[in-house]
Amino acid sequence: MRLEDDLLWESNNRSGWGLRWLRHVTAAAVLAGFGGLLWLGGERFICVAAFCGAAVYAIWVTVHWLRDRRRFVRVTVANGGLRMQHVSGRTTDHDLRMVTRAHITHRGHSYDDANDRQKLAGAGSATLRLQIAGRRFTSRWAGLDSAELDRLQETWRATCPEAAIDSTCIPGQFAGYSY
């Protein structure tokens, strides 16, 4: 993540869920249609299994989509406040004085590769959790190394001096996931 003057956070993946959502809905519909064909063919047990599989798959995708669409992907300082861009495309403005907590969870990679900058020692992924006026916000992950993590914390401390800024470093195999 490259920090600019007004940029406080930018996730690696900033795209919405539109095409992925359409693919998942199509897959569930195909599975349910296959179950319908089996129903017409007299295979009742396999048909019910296909319908149940389609329903569980559709529920899982919907829950994941609802959880992900609330995340933010970019935070900048604009007009004396925070401007947050969410996955859904919505942009919200918040007062800097209302930020009470910023927590960064950094997950280090468990491997070193001198040829790949993202896999060097100290590299990993990070998730930012903000608490603004009692509301909690979670970001998508961003690739950070240890030096960028330190700069990010200092930038947040300078921008929101009254907020509690802390971080947790988790070594190991969790890089790239956003919990």
DSSP string, the chain: ----SSEEEE-S----SHHHHHHHHHHHHHHHHHHHHHHHTT-HHHHHHHHHHHHHHHHHHHHHHHHHTT-EEEEEEETTEEEEEETTS-EEEEEGGGEEEEEEEEEE-S---TT-GGGSTT-EEEEEEEEETTEEEEBPPEEE-HHHHHHHHHHHHHH-TTSEEEEEEE-SS-TT---
b/e 53-79 (16+ beta carbons within 10 angstroms → b):
ebeebbeebeeeeeebeebbbbbbbee
Closest to 132 in 3D by CA, of 169, 170, 159, 107: 159
Per-residue confidence (pLDDT) for residue 100, from 0 to 100: 92
What distances in angstroms separate CA 165 from CA 5, 129, 141, 151, one per listed residue?
19, 10, 18, 12
Per-residue confidence (pLDDT) for residue 179, from 0 to 100: 43
**Tens-digit pLDDT profile for residues 36-49:** 888 788 888 887 88
> Which of the residues in the chain have pLDDT under 70?
1-5, 14-18, 109-122, 172-179
Q: Are 178 and 141 in contact (CB under 8 A)?
A: yes
- Token code pair at residue 177: 């996931």
Per-residue confidence (pLDDT) for residue 119, from 0 to 100: 53
- Token code pair at residue 34: 């296959």
Per-residue confidence (pLDDT) for residue 130, from 0 to 100: 93
